[in-house]
Amino acid sequence: MKQLILCLIFFNGLQNSGSAQSEYQLPESVKRIVFLGNSITWNGEYVNYIETYFRTLKDGQPLEFINVGLPSETVSGLSEPNHAEGKFPRPNLHNRLTRVLQATKPDLVIACYGMNDGIYLPFDEARFNKFKEGIRWLHNEIVSKGISVIHVTPPVFDERKGEAYANVLDIYSDWLISNRYTSDWDVIDIHWPMKKFLEDQRLTDPSFFLAKDGIHPNSTGHWLMAKEILLFLGEDRVLTASSIQEALPSSENVDQILHLVSERQKISRDAWLTHTGHKRPGLPEGLPIVEAKEKLNSIDDKIDALLN
């Protein structure tokens, strides 16, 4: 355990030494990007920012973004004994990943897990091992099908909502980052930049928060997530931007395009989740894929009109 802690401190130091994430170059062969994750990804605001950014770039390569994040989901397969007041256990990605990959046929998967995987309890080695096993399984399942994968560290958990669990996600994030060096994985760190931003803001405004409940980021938090992903993908022009509007200062109709992208993402997300199947109750019923694509094409026409 002592060696683990020293290793995590080392990687944490590396991570906080600068803002550059990677020399990653998005291959020209990538046309369809699928996002996997929990309720933070399901909410999709950071996905909307990313899609809006790429759609608005005149020189950007054409990309399709599919969000199949699922609320409450884990990759560890763990669940609290009385999760959701006993109404249902946490969904397990193991139960749907194969169907999702077969149906969506991505060129690249961006996966963000960890927030739910420690099930909001203090650090435990057995739970940590289940998370690591789940992430390795996810990685191997995707690459074995000839698909690229980028892992994303979990967003920050607010220490004011639980210092012990904030420490759990620090450890989970550092382990993910370590796989850049030990396993040659592509890993985007959103955790430590969000944590630093939160701490810096509280120096001048002690009441500042990124997530009212400590878990689900607000719009500022989602932009920070999108920003780190865009930086990893080589979009250095967002480095100093505090919003999608600042990231695209010379572009017109950004707010209208963002609104339309958000609308199409909800239709797409619900359709794909229904089509691929899941065990999470309480979600909207999606349209059949063919019908959804017709609506998406109509929205695309409106976006193209704004861009042209």
Between 179 and 308, where is the model more confident? Answer: 179
Sign of CA dihedral 258, 55, 48, 282: positive
Alpha-carbon span 176 to 15, nearest angstrom: 12
- Express each pLDDT in 127-145 by its tens digit: 999 999 999 999 999 999 9
**Residues 274/286, Cβ–Cβ less than 8 Å:** yes
What tokens were used for 129?
A: 């091992």
Please indicate, yes or no, if residue 119 is contained in any of the structural domains: yes
pLDDT in tens, 251-303: 889 999 999 999 999 999 999 999 999 999 999 999 999 999 999 999 999 99
For residue 247, give Cα distances in angstroms to 112, 166, 230, 238, 304. Answer: 23, 30, 10, 5, 20
Q: Is residue 229 part of a domain?
A: yes
Residue 10 in domain: no
Pair 90, 80: CB distance under 8 Å: yes
CATH number of the domain enclosing 303: 3.40.50.1110
Whole-angstrom distance, CA of residue 169 vs CA of residue 113: 10
Secondary structure of 216-284 in the HEC alphabet? CCCHHHHHHHHHHHHHHCCCHHHCCCCCHHHHCCCCCCHHHHHHHHHHHHHHHHHHHHHHHCCCCCCCC
* Residue 18 clears pLDDT 90, i.e. is over it: no
Domain count, the chain: 1
Residue 8 lies in a domain: no
pLDDT of residue 196: 98
DSSP 209: -
pLDDT cut 70: percent of the chain above it: 92
Give domain status of residue 20, yes or no: no
> DSSP class of residue 67?
E
37: left (phi over 0), alpha (psi -120 to 50) or beta: left
Is residue 16 domain-resident?
no
**Structural domain contains residue 46:** yes
Contact 115, 169 (CB under 8 A): yes
Q: Exposed, middle or buried: residue 129 (CB in 10 Å: 0-12, 13-18, 19+)? A: exposed
DSSP 120-157: TSS--HHHHHHHHHHHHHHHHHHHTTT-EEEEEPPPPP
Structural domain of 106: 26-307
Q: Do the domain assignments include residue 109?
A: yes
Average pLDDT of 170-189? Answer: 98
